[in-house]
Amino acid sequence: MTDPSNKAGTFGKLSYLIIDDFENFRLSMRQMLRSCGADNIELVANATQAIQLCTYNHIDVVLCDYNLGEGRNGQHVLEELRHKKLLKRSSLFLMVTAETSKQMVMGARENQPDGYLTKPINRALLEQRLSALIDQRNALYPINREIDRENYPEAISLCLQALPRQTRYKTWLMKTLGDLYYRLGDLAHAAKVYDEVLSQRELSWARLGRSKVLLANRSHDQAVDSLKQLIINHPDYMEAYDLLADGLERQGKMTQAQRVLEQAIEHSPNALLRQRHLAELAEANQDMETASEAWRRTVSLGTHSIHDCAEHHLALGQSLSDLSEGDREPEGVDRANEAISVLSRMEKRFSDREDVGLRSRIIQCRVHAGQGNQQTAEKLLAEIRNDIESTDTLDPDTGLDYAKTLFRVERDSDAKALLAQLAERFADNAEVMQKIENLLDEPVGFRQKLQARTLNRDGIKAFEAGQLAAAADAFTRALAVVPDHAALNLNLVQVLMKEYETDSSNPELLRQCRDCLNRLEGLPQQHRQHRRYQALCRKLEGLTA
């Protein structure tokens, strides 16, 4: 039988925070907590007050309503508390709600509250739920305290000591133990913990943990197979989708990774970071329709989120700029207008950042040029040039975006000079160098890039099938779109040389080879096609000798 005096003592040792926009509910909850023995109770009406209070005070138990009226909701509060590390592992966060929609529950679960309380709430229910959670909190407090201190070896030692004594919490202890070994990079012991659990029972967290170990050990195929099965068995397990997408990316299966995130978002659409990941993947896959929609959702979800930033708005503006370029149909015009609108709102929202105005104008200039508004584009270009005191100090992202805009307004020589500067300054940065190369190879719009890449694939396919004339035709048509593309020029040279080897009576083939190679005379030594270029130059000299 429960001793009421002990319960009162347990409740009385902790501090509480009640967050609800209705005063009557706050007062009612405080009354119920007091009747359970609690004494140190704070009440606030909104997210801002809650975050401020948690910044300067330690709170043991947070009772937060999901719906806090205008502005941030309970999910945003939990997200910010976790992100800023204002909520210790030993603290409890309970989401209170009258809403039980799947979308709300899935969104709230992303940040892992310790429990839910569904309205209406009475004293008996509150005491029952809190008592169980507080008992567990007290039993496991020493372990969580060491984890908060990032003293993982000591936390592991305490977990091992507690396992034979705290059998009631064995599942929590094993899960925590596996996670702690993984954090320390002790993959062998982490795997041993997960395997031990799985040998007794198929538990989703253990399967996920085992898959993380497999990925860390570069056993990508095994990890991906394991995660696919986990999702079949637990289709609402969002962490499994994220990890599967990660595994597929490591396998280089970017399109499949994108599909996995799209499935996850169908289940849980309110996770900003997953929407951002989807947008980035879709961009890498050149699926700009999906990318722009995912960026749009990312920006929308960021309205009240701690994860909001100017880069999300810039990315949405860039994707809409790409989609609207050269499209004068109503849909294209709408996208261009949306891009301008998004960028204007960003300038107001992040007015404390000095660079957002310049970044915004660089994209706006491109949007107007893509819609044929040359006069406006030229005016913006003049403003941009006034803003940039020296291109020597531009950061890589701004410099690359500016170069892209210069290409769009047909300032090709200025764009190439800027890219040369960036290449010199960031020669040791492989990612930046790759972007510079891509921009030099394909300084054209999104649709033209797709056209050139499709023709390139057709040419390679024809070449591999021995259809040299068809291959040459495809590469020639692609070069009409992107004449300076290094790989395309060299592909055509290779085809023409092959043709010459079978019919050496046609010197026109060698002349065409020379034209292609002459186009690449300024190819930087760092370019990934430079060695191939040199080899084909030597081969041509041999054929013409």
Joined together, the tokens standing for residue 172 give 């929590």
Provide mean pLDDT across the span 56-76: 93
Report the candidate in 125, 134, 66 with the shortest Cα–Cα distance to residue 95: 66
Total residues found in the chain within this entry: 545
pLDDT of residue 304: 94
Would you place residue 441 in the very low, low, confident or very high pLDDT band (cuts 50, 70, 90)?
A: confident
Per residue in 88-122, pLDDT tens? 999 999 999 887 677 777 777 777 899 889 888 99
Average pLDDT over residues 347-372: 95
Separation of alpha carbons 156 and 255, rounded Å: 39
177 token code pair:
């133990």
Contacting residues for 125 by C-beta, under 8 A, at least 6 apart: 117
CB atoms within 10 A of CB 120: 9
Tens digits of residue pLDDT in 217-261: 999 999 999 999 999 999 999 999 999 999 999 999 999 999 999
For residue 368, is pLDDT > 70?
yes
pLDDT band (50, 70, 90) for residue 7? low
Using omega within 30 degrees of 0 as the cis cutoff, is the peptide bond preceding 4 cis? no
SS3 61: strand
Neighbours of 104 (CB within 10 A): 18
CA-based end-to-end distance of the chain: 102
For 2, what's the count of Cα atoms within 13 Å in the CB-facing half-sphere?
A: 11
Residues 364 and 345: their CA atoms lie apart, in Å, by 13
Residue 256 CA to its chain's centroid (Å):
16
What would the mean pLDDT of 291-316 be, rounded to a whole number? 97
3-state SS string over 406-447?
A: HHHCCCHHHHHHHHHHHHHHCCCCHHHHHHHHHHHHCCCCHH
The reported pLDDT for the residue numbered 525 is 77
Read off the pLDDT band of 487 (50, 70, 90): very high
Tokens of 362: 């660089």
| Residue 36 confidence (pLDDT) above 90 | yes
Query: Percentage of the chain surpassing pLDDT 70?
Result: 98
Q: What are the E-state strand segments in 315-400? A: none
Q: Is the dihedral of CA 486, 490, 493, 499 positive or negative?
A: negative
Can you spell out the DSSP letters for 68-105? -SSS--HHHHHHHHHHTT-S-TTSEEEEEES---HHHH
| Helix, strand, coil abundance in the chain, percent, nearest 5 | 70, 5, 25
Least confident of 176-190, 284-298, 417-431, 460-474: 417-431
290, pLDDT greater than 60: yes
Reply yes or no on whether the pLDDT at 169 is more than 80: yes
Location of structure tokens 């980035």: 280
For the chain, the average pLDDT equals 93
Q: What is the pLDDT of residue 199?
A: 97
Q: Is the pLDDT of residue 392 over 90?
A: no
pLDDT at position 6: 62
SS3 41: strand
Q: What is the phi-psi region of residue 466: left when phi exceeds 0, alpha when psi lies from -120 to 50, beta otherwise?
A: left
Q: Rounded distance, CA 391 to CA 426, Å?
A: 13
| Residue 473 near residue 467 (C-beta atoms within 8 A) | no
- The lowest-confidence range among 103-107, 342-346, 525-529 is 103-107
Angle between helices 238-250 and 272-284 (to 10 degrees): 20
Cα dihedral 171, 173, 175, 179, rounded to 10, equals 180
* Mean predicted confidence (pLDDT) in 347-375: 95
Banded model confidence at residue 2, pLDDT cuts 50, 70, 90: very low
pLDDT band of residue 523 (cuts 50, 70, 90) is: confident
Question: Over 80: is that where the pLDDT of 444 sits?
Answer: no
Q: Identify the weakest region by mean pLDDT among 135-144, 337-346, 514-523.
A: 514-523
Distance CA 180, CA 194 (A): 12
User: Which positions ≥6 away from 68 have C-beta within 8 Å?
Assistant: 19, 20, 21, 45, 46, 47, 74, 77
**Predicted structure pTM score:** 0.85
Opening angle at CA 395, ends 390 and 396, nearest 5: 120
